[in-house]
Amino acid sequence: MRYSSGAVEALIEEFAKLPGIGRKTAQRLTMHVLQERRGEVEKLAAALIDVKEKVVRCSICQNITDLGTDPCLLCTSTGRDRSVICVVESPTEVLAFEKTGHYKGLYHVLHGVISPLDGVGPDDIKVRELLARISPDSEGGVREVVLALNPTVEGETTSLYISKLLKPLGINVTRIARGIPVGAELEFIDEATLSRAMDGRSAV
């Protein structure tokens, strides 16, 4: 069954293509757009096009940045510790770490993890660009690489792969701690996490 307007139907179809948006939600969003002021809708449409036109990847850390700001603000900042690089899977994780305000080093965004089942090999993610930042020829002075990939099979595989590449270069390769989240109750923590937390115990 279709709406009485082709344009409405087309917008529902387009909304429903977005991840996590089903047909019902797409209908509700379209009804909202119908009632919204034209200027607001044009702002959304322009923002969509802008993202495709103006967002590029930083030539150093591969994080997203605006056209004309390459290298990105994090890579050119004078207030960051340039001897540490935190390796993450996507730009979202850079934001997550930046929100903490705790980490002061640089980043490297892989844009994916190694996943043979999905046909993603080491050459499909930004590993080569990471090596270029660390190689003895580069003037980086990087001493430590912190692996902060998601604790999935693919994330672990990628961590292992990168650490094997970097260790021969004399780089200190670390990974963020696995343990109990702040505020969690021990009795509800799964066995794997509890074991890792025990292994990673530290002096108080």
Q: Name the residues that contact its own copies, by CB under 8 A.
A: 1, 3-8, 10-11, 13-15, 17-21, 25, 27-34, 38, 40-55, 58, 63-66, 72-74, 90-92, 94-95, 98-99
Between residues 45 and 160, which has the closer beta carbon with respect to its own copies? 45
Question: What is the 8-class DSSP label of residue 187?
Answer: G
Of 49 and 203, which has the nearer Cβ to its own copies?
Answer: 49
Which of 71, 179 has the CB closer to its own copies? 71
> And the tokens for 200?
């990673």
Widest pairwise Cα distance in the chain: 69
CA angle 41, 16, 89 (to 5 degrees): 95
Least distance in angstroms from the C-beta of 106 to its own copies? 12
Report how far residue 24's alpha carbon sits from residue 44's, in angstroms, rounded to the nearest whole number: 20
Residue 11 Cβ vs its own copies, minimum distance, rounded to whole Å? 4
Residue 136's contacts (CB-CB under 8 Å, 6 or more residues apart) are 169
Report CA-CA distances (Å) from 91 to 50, 85, 98, 116: 18, 14, 11, 22
Which of 22, 200 has the CB closer to its own copies? 22
- Write the DSSP string, 62-83: --EEETT--S-HHHH-TTSEEE
CB 108 within 8 A of CB 119: no
Q: How far is the CB of 47 from its own copies (least distance, A)?
A: 4
Shortest distance, position 196 Cβ to its own copies, whole Å: 26
Closest CB to its own copies among 66 and 81? Answer: 66
Closest CB 129 distance from its own copies, rounded Å? 16
